[in-house]
Amino acid sequence: MVDQVQEVKEKTDIVDVVGEFVELKKAGRHFRGLCPFHHEKSPSFMVSPELQIYKCFGCGESGDVIAFLMKYEGLDFGEALAVLAEKAGVELKRVSRLSRTEKEELIEINELVARFYHFILLKHPLGKEGLEYLSQRRGISLQTIEEFDLGCSPESGNLMFNYLTQKKKIDPKLLEKAGVVVHVRGRWWDRFRGRVVFPIKDYRGRVIALAGRIMPKLEGRDLAKYINSPETLVYKKSASLYGIDRAKEMIRETKEAIIVEGEIDLISLWQAGIKNVVAIKGTALTEEQVRLVSRFAKTVLFCLDSDFAGDNAAIRGLKIAQQAEIELKVVNLGSFKDPDEFVRQDLEGFRLALKSAIGIWDFLIEMVIGRHDLSDSGSRAKISRELVPILALITDGILRAHFVKKVAEKLDVPEEAVNEEVEKYLKGVVKKTEVFSRPVKIVKKDTRELVEERILAIALQTGEIKKVLDLTGEMIKTGFIGKVFEEMKRLGDGFEIGRFVDTLPGELKDRVAGLFIEELGAEEEGDLMKELEKLILRLRMIDLKEKMANALDDVEFVKLSKERVELEKKTAT
């Protein structure tokens, strides 16, 4: 297994893998981008093709390509390795079927169930009603049905259960864990019985859950119109986006994602040629969904049902999207109840609505004001109470000032009054944050350690190892840097940064790799060598001061003082 891990890593370029999720730009011999693990405005996330590692100088996250996928995707080691092996064309050896993880088993079950229901819909008489509903009432073509693997679960109750337990010999308890069956009154039932079925896939195209819409003839009974798989090891509703597997490439290309509420809305848009669309399976955009869509998009267009729930969804997702620096816009559906109806009745009008989408701040202000009577002074106070928290969310000072002015004009009140309310609100939020925040322990490095770290960084990045070793002699005193210098001396001309870093223990490896990929801020290598000479003089000065502090008699102190004066002359030139 160790050999296979090495083979996968050797056939994988971390720059390509990280580049799928982070926009990287060349920075000398490394690549730089905004860190995907914390919010930042200036890029401090570095990727080294030589060391095949990443490191963020903002939050400290670092590791190799496997560690990146584990952290970013929330995968365990085996899952991350499997993803990379598939990309690299390496077939991982399995000891037996029993070596599969439970997650893999649940995904396999979901895919079997999706295929079974797809077969019923297209090839079996029991799927006739579902097919008529999708094709005749919803206008979904056979091609689209096949593209999305839509299915039908018969009303009979346990057809799928019998097939998987009797023909495929799958344990009922495992089916229950996958969320595709329920155990009621001593019997097993198909969870999605009497419904058309929509497989929910992750961004890699694996079926992780199912959604079901009740058949028309069962409407009116005491049954939920729509149901989803329960949350499982492989499915978390708040972290999933329906259609992301198909839409991601178009979203990446256009840098724009259209967000709708449900499966039918998405499928209608897709069928009409609008491919950069995903569904949030509800009315609230969550932090995990923002993180997922922000891998591919810079702008999000909310295209939710024209009701109050849709308005609330925009508000709930606002703070999260701001942190991810995604531009939010809202599409006006006009008199149409949902995107599906709009697209089917007026496709060109819908395309125009997409182009005319308004910014989220304008939308929220108009929405709040539109709910109240401006001629009533009491209503103005209510509007202010609703809008102040929204205005406080705007992090850009100039943008906030613009909308504060706009609100003041709408309410016919002084701009200063609105601004004062916003500032008051912000102070309250800060106080609450301070109460619940924990003090952060800051480890302060002394001057010697900072100078020695910089010297080591220059040595590693310029390759002038021998010169640095000759100039520093025995001056390096900091523990871990001293160990690195000793190892560099031992290796001599055989020193090679990639192999060297691989031989180091965990923490030491991380620190040395960090120094190698840290941006040193010099335009040319010659500038670094000049800086190196100054740093070594500075290190000699630190040594002299330490010796003077520990001088045993006046004679030694005077001698050291003269040396210091001479050294200060050199440093001044």
Band (pLDDT 50/70/90 cuts) for residue 319 is low
What is the 8-class DSSP label of residue 445? P
The predicted pLDDT at position 4 comes to 81
CATH (domain of 129): 3.90.980.10
More confident residue, 470 or 187: 187
Band (pLDDT 50/70/90 cuts) for residue 433 is very low
* pLDDT beyond 90 at 550: no
* pLDDT beyond 60 at 80: yes
Q: What is the pLDDT of residues 331-364, one digit of tens each?
A: 999 899 999 999 999 999 999 999 999 998 898 8
* pLDDT beyond 50 at 309: no
* Structural domain count of the chain: 5
The rounded distance, in Å, linking the Cα atoms of 152 and 212 is 9
Closest among 380, 365, 198, 184 to 281, alpha carbons compared: 198
Closest among 386, 362, 529, 551 to 461, alpha carbons compared: 529
More confident residue, 290 or 276: 276
Mean pLDDT of 229-235: 94
* pLDDT beyond 70 at 20: yes
Is residue 442, in this structure, part of any structural domain at all? Answer: no
DSSP string, 85-146: HHHHT-----S-GGGS-HHHHHHHHHHHHHHHHHHHHHHSGGGHHHHHIIIIIS---HHHHH
CA-CA-CA-CA torsion for 246, 252, 258, 264, nearest 10 degrees? 0
Q: Which of 47-56, 108-117, 233-242, 508-517 has the lowest mean pLDDT?
A: 508-517
Same domain, residue pair 346 and 287: yes
* pTM, entire model: 0.72
First to last CA, the chain: 59
The predicted pLDDT at position 541 comes to 86
Is residue 327, in this structure, part of any structural domain at all? Answer: yes
Are 54 and 68 in contact by the 8 Å Cβ rule? The answer is yes
Same domain, residue pair 7 and 86: yes
Same domain, residue pair 254 and 330: yes
The rounded distance, in Å, linking the Cα atoms of 18 and 137 is 44
Q: What is the pLDDT of residues 207-222, one digit of tens each?
A: 999 999 999 989 888 8
Mean pLDDT of 490-499: 74
Q: What are φ and ψ of residue 350, in 5° steps?
A: -65, -45
Mean pLDDT of 513-535: 77
The average confidence (pLDDT) of the chain is: 85
The predicted pLDDT at position 434 comes to 42
| Domain boundary residue, one of 93, 123, 153 | 93
The rounded distance, in Å, linking the Cα atoms of 464 and 203 is 45
Same domain, residue pair 124 and 222: yes
Q: What are φ and ψ of residue 27, in 5° steps?
A: -140, 85
Same domain, residue pair 377 and 352: no
**Segments in 262-413 forming alpha helices (H):** 263-271, 287-293, 308-323, 339-345, 347-355, 360-370, 377-392, 397-411
* pLDDT over 90, % of the chain: 42
| Domain boundary residue, one of 49, 70, 93 | 93
Range(s) of the domain holding residue 539 = 447-572
Closest among 535, 539, 541, 546 to 564, alpha carbons compared: 541
Band (pLDDT 50/70/90 cuts) for residue 318 is low
Is residue 534, in this structure, part of any structural domain at all? Answer: yes
Band (pLDDT 50/70/90 cuts) for residue 171 is very high
CATH (domain of 256): 3.40.1360.10
Same domain, residue pair 153 and 166: yes
The predicted pLDDT at position 525 comes to 62
Is residue 477, in this structure, part of any structural domain at all? Answer: yes
More confident residue, 571 or 350: 350
* pLDDT beyond 70 at 436: no
More confident residue, 281 or 303: 303
Same domain, residue pair 227 and 113: yes
The rounded distance, in Å, linking the Cα atoms of 390 and 334 is 24
Q: Which residues contact 166 (CB under 8 A, 6 or more apart)?
A: none
Judged by DSSP in three states, 181 sits in strand
The rounded distance, in Å, linking the Cα atoms of 517 and 55 is 8
Q: What is the pLDDT of residues 179-189, one digit of tens each?
A: 999 999 899 99
* pLDDT beyond 50 at 95: no
Same domain, residue pair 250 and 286: yes
What is the 8-class DSSP label of residue 132? H
Q: What is the pLDDT of residues 234-277, one digit of tens each?
A: 999 988 999 999 999 999 899 999 999 999 999 999 999 999 99
Is residue 441, in this structure, part of any structural domain at all? Answer: no
Band (pLDDT 50/70/90 cuts) for residue 96 is very low
* pLDDT beyond 60 at 102: yes
Max mean pLDDT range (139-148, 216-225, 355-364, 490-499) = 139-148
Band (pLDDT 50/70/90 cuts) for residue 141 is very high
More confident residue, 172 or 9: 172
The predicted pLDDT at position 288 comes to 82
Same domain, residue pair 355 and 413: no
Same domain, residue pair 121 and 227: yes
The predicted pLDDT at position 333 comes to 92
Band (pLDDT 50/70/90 cuts) for residue 282 is low
CATH (domain of 23): 3.90.580.10
Same domain, residue pair 282 and 345: yes
Are 486 and 550 in contact by the 8 Å Cβ rule? The answer is no
| Domain boundary residue, one of 191, 215, 234 | 234
Mean pLDDT of 374-397: 85
The predicted pLDDT at position 431 comes to 52
* pLDDT beyond 50 at 97: no
Band (pLDDT 50/70/90 cuts) for residue 500 is confident
Is residue 271, in this structure, part of any structural domain at all? Answer: yes
Same domain, residue pair 230 and 243: no
Closest among 260, 223, 225 to 243, alpha carbons compared: 260
Mean pLDDT of 135-157: 95
